[in-house]
């Protein structure tokens, strides 16, 4: 089971290597603030993936649209169609941000995504 620990002043960095045209689903993360496990569904979540070269937005995922909450955990996905639109060997950047019910916004994870050509077609 994966856990995202919300730390003051810092983000978890996770880089991803994906194959263009393959679906991607993250682990289902338990989210903790301090020692307290939170129900991730109580927060509003957003992920932005952008082209690292141009800075152009590639895709935005939101609660219910690419972001799900299995058993109160946080999980996100890119569809095969979305990764098929990524240019192989190009770098993309992403970050994961949530908004608490009180309006506080926090970025908890960021990283780079590199897509590769899938030798075996779907």
Kindly report, residue by residue over 69-117, the tens digit of the pLDDT.
999 999 999 999 999 999 999 999 999 999 999 999 989 889 999 999 9
Give residue 75's domain range: 2-116
Report the Cα 88 to chain-centroid distance in Å: 19
DSSP per residue over 41-52, as a string? GGSEEEEEEEET
pTM over 0.85: yes
Question: Is 122 within a domain?
Answer: no
Domain assignment of residue 98, yes or no? yes
User: Rg of the Cα trace of the chain?
Assistant: 15
Is 27 contained in some domain? yes
Q: What is the DSSP letter of 59?
A: E
CATH number at residue 88: 2.60.40.10
Query: Structurally, how many domains does the chain consist of?
Result: 1
Q: Which residue is it, tokens 């058993």?
A: 71
Domain-embedded: residue 121: no
Residue 87 lies in a domain: yes
pLDDT for 108 equals 87
The answer to whether position 94 is within a domain reads yes
Mean pLDDT of 30-56: 91
Round to whole Å and give the CA distance between 46 and 61: 6
């Amino acid at each position: 089971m994966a856990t995202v620990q919300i730390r003051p002043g810092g983000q978890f960095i996770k880089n991803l290597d994906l194959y263009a045209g393959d679906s991607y689903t993250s682990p289902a993360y338990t989210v903790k603030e301090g020692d307290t496990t939170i129900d991730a569904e109580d927060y509003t979540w957003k992920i932005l993936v952008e082209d690292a070269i141009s800075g152009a937005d590639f895709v935005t995922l939101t609660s219910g649209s690419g972001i799900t909450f299995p058993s109160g955990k946080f999980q996100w996905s890119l569809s095969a169609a979305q990764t098929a639109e990524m240019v192989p060997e190009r770098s993309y950047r992403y970050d994961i941000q949530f908004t608490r019910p009180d309006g506080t916004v926090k970025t908890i994870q960021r990283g780079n995504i590199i897509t590769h050509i899938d030798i075996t077609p779907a």
